[in-house]
């Protein structure tokens, strides 16, 4: 079948995209212990600038937000200036790039926290499993339920990160509300047992997400802001008793803001992630009035079909973009794809990062 639908241009909020193939956010851990982006990262993203849109790896909004080693931040002047080399590199290739802003919540560990503090969450519920800390793999700990008077400062961290992303030259931001991180911990009833205005009803569990969105769009207009959700993703020991109700309510509530897009993670391949229950995306499609982006195991044909059938407006590709910096060209030419090397996904340096070959031998990969 024709895959022409993925190559149609689209306007996302204030940003015009040349195609509907999005590079999904992918944690790669190449920022170094100071969490400052670098020239290698600029090269990596520039190589992939033929995507209609690049969404960066998840990026901490504060020191407290950290939960992975050597992931980047957007809370210091040094980080802002360093991200500028990335955005400049992408824009030199006529690419578009959004920064994904992130707080890990309970998916962190005292080893990442100031003075070894316990990480925060919606409720004091310990996730099963282990976390990779700077001192090695350790079991998750029981988080501390964040107090009411702390919430405004965390919301402000997201607002500040949005303003900082604008200063760094990004085309927009994506608020990370997925994959068992802090916003998701408020949304789902498996991690939120609060008895106050942020817990209990679906409306209350959605409140933190909406406050973050409201703060972000106050700093940068809504047509530069997207949101990512993952209704049935069990990663980080997540569950919800009724994901269809929870996430259709959240999607409907987001209509108020006229966001650039909503990004729904349906599934991810690999040992880290599991998916349970019915697909929620068709229900979200019915209620969300803006552009819808989907992600999770799509290839050229299935992605194009989803767009042609109006199941979504854009398709985000993750692992295929790791191994194929020129993925749109490969799809267009029906060329074979490079095989990804999972052993280098989270290592350091150029190997498995900027050295995957291009179709065109005149383009060097390193």
Instruction: Check 181, 257, 298, 356 and give the catalytic one.
Output: 181
The token pair at 228 is 């990512």
Using only C-alpha atoms, what is the Rg of the chain?
19
Q: Residue length, the chain? A: 366
Q: Evaluate the CA torsion angle 165, 170, 175, 181 in order and state its sign.
A: negative
Question: What DSSP assignment string belongs to 43-96?
Answer: HHHHHTTTSSEEEEEEEESSSTT--STT--BSSSHHHHHHHHHHHHHHHHTT--
Question: What DSSP assignment string belongs to 280-302?
Answer: -HHHHHHH--S-EEEESS--HHH
Q: For residue 172, what is the enclosing H or E element?
A: strand 172-176
Q: Evaluate whether 35 touches 338 at the Cβ level (below 8 Å).
A: no
Say how far apart CA 334 and CA 263 lie, in whole Å. 26
Q: Any catalytic annotation for residue 261?
A: no
Residues recognised as catalytic: 181
């Amino acid at each position: 079948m024709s895959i022409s639908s993925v190559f149609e241009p689209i306007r996302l909020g204030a940003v015009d995209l040349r195609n509907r193939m999005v590079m999904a956010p992918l944690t790669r851990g190449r920022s170094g212990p100071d969490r400052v982006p670098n020239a290698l990262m600029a090269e990596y993203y520039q190589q992939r600038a033929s995507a209609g849109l690049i969404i960066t790896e998840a990026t901490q909004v504060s020191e407290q937000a950290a939960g992975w080693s050597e992931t980047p931040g957007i809370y210091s002047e040094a980080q802002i200036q360093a991200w500028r080399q990335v955005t400049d590199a992408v824009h030199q290739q006529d690419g578009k790039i959004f920064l994904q802003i992130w707080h890990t919540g309970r998916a962190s560990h005292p080893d990442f926290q100031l003075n070894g503090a316990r990480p925060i969450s919606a409720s004091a519920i310990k996730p099963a499993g282990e976390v990779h800390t700077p001192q090695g793999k350790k079991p998750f700990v029981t988080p501390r339920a964040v107090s009411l008077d702390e919430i405004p400062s965390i919301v402000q961290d997201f607002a500040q990160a949005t303003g900082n992303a604008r200063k760094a030259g990004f085309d927009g931001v994506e608020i990370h509300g997925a994959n068992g991180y802090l916003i998701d911990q408020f949304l789902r009833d498996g991690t939120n047992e609060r008895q106050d205005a942020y817990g209990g009803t679906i409306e209350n569990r959605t409140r933190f997400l909406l406050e973050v969105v409201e703060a972000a769009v106050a700093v940068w207009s809504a047509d530069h802001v997207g949101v990512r959700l993952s209704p049935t993703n069990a990663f980080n020991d997540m569950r919800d008793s009724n994901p269809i109700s929870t996430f259709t309510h959240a999607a409907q509530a987001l209509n108020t803001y006229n966001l650039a897009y909503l990004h729904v993670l349906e599934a991810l391949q690999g040992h880290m992630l599991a998916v349970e229950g019915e697909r929620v995306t068709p229900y979200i499609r019915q209620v969300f009035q803006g552009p819808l982006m989907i992600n999770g195991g799509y290839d050229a044909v299935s992605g194009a079909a989803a767009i042609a059938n109006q199941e979504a407006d854009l398709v985000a590709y993750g692992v295929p973009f790791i191994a194929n910096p020129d993925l749109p060209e490969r799809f267009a030419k029906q060329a074979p794809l490079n095989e990804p090397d999972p052993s280098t996904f989270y290592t350091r340096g150029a190997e498995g990062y900027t050295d995957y070959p291009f179709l065109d031998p005149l383009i060097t990969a390193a």
